[in-house]
Chain A
Amino acid sequence: QLQLQESGSGVVKPSQTLSLTCTVSGVPISGGASSWSWIRQPPGQGLEWIGYISHSGPTSYNPSLQSRVTMSIDRSKNHFSLKLSSVTAADTAVYYCARGVSTVPKTFDVWGQGTMVTVSS
Chain B
Amino acid sequence: EIVMTQSPATLSVSPGDRATLSCRANQSVSSNLAWYQQKPGQAPSLLIYGASTRATGVPARFSGSGSGTEFTLTISSLQSEDFAVYYCQQYNNWPRTFGQGTKLEIK
With A46-B87, A47-B87, A114-B43 as known contacts, state yes or no: A109 contacts B97, CB within 8 Å: no
Q: B96: nearest residue on chain A (CB-CB)?
A: A49
A113 touches B43 (CB 8 A): yes
Residues of A within 8 A of B101 (CB): 46-47
CA distance A63 to B36 in the complex (A): 23
CB contact between A105 and one of B44, B46, B87, B96 (< 8 Å): that residue: B96
A111 touches B49 (CB 8 A): no
Indicate the member of A64, A96, A107 with the most B CB atoms within 10 Å.
Answer: A107
B contact residues, total (Cβ < 8 Å): 22
Q: Majority SS of interface residues in chain A?
A: loop
Q: Does A74 contact B (CB under 8 A)?
A: no
Residues of A within 8 A of B98 (CB): 46-49
CA distance A64 to B97 in the complex (A): 12
CB contact between B46 and one of A60, A63, A109 (< 8 Å): that residue: A109
CA distance A62 to B44 in the complex (A): 20
B96 to chain A, nearest CB (A): 4
CA distance A62 to B49 in the complex (A): 21
CA distance A100 to B97 in the complex (A): 14
CA distance A47 to B43 in the complex (A): 10
Q: A48: nearest residue on chain B (CB-CB)?
A: B98
A107 to chain B, nearest CB (A): 4
List residues of chain A with CB under 8 Å of any chain B CB: 45-49, 60-64, 96, 98, 101, 105-109, 111-114
List residues of chain B with CB under 8 Å of any chain A CB: 1, 32, 34, 36, 42-46, 49, 55, 87, 89, 91, 94-101
